[in-house]
């Protein structure tokens, strides 16, 4: 529901939904990602980066989160931090370098 509100420009409603979910499940990955999107939309890049980096610490093999994190790092001029995320993916899954999602994210990084 929060994603729907965010896509329709209702940031306050999206934030309320996310806070409700995170109040019950502090580490809910999808709600955390939407929370990062809200901060990004509010142009709070540093907060958004910290949210996504924390998410990547908890879910190092999730390539959707990795792609979003790379985009946020690029916008905040911290793209070099993405190299550590790739290393974490490789440590988490030794076959990561053959995964399409991983290679898509590598392409985002080098683009």
Kindly indicate the confidence band of residue 34, based on its pLDDT and cuts at 50, 70 and 90: very high
- Is the model more confident about 8 or about 105? 105
Helix or strand or coil: residue 2? helix
Cβ pair 63, 99 in contact under 8 A: yes
**pLDDT score of 5 more than 90:** no
- pTM score, whole prediction: 0.84
Residue 95 CA: distances (Å) to CA of 92, 100, 105: 9, 11, 15
What's the CA gap between 51 and 55, in Å, rounded? 6
Distance CA 70, CA 58 (A): 16
The pLDDT value given to residue 6: 82
Residue range 91-110, pLDDT digits in tens: 999 999 999 999 999 999 99
* pLDDT given at position 27: 86
């Amino acid at each position: 529901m929060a994603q729907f509100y965010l896509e329709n420009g209702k940031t306050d409603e999206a934030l309320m939904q996310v806070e409700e979910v995170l109040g019950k499940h502090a580490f809910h990955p999808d709600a955390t990602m939407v929370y990062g999107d809200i901060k990004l939309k509010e142009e709070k890049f540093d907060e958004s980066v910290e949210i996504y980096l924390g998410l990547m610490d908890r879910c190092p093999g999730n390539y959707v989160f990795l792609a979003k994190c790379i985009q946020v790092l690029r916008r905040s001029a911290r793209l070099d931090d993405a190299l550590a995320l790739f290393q974490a993916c490789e440590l988490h899954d030794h076959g990561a370098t053959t995964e399409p999602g991983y290679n898509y994210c590598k392409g985002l990084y080098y683009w």
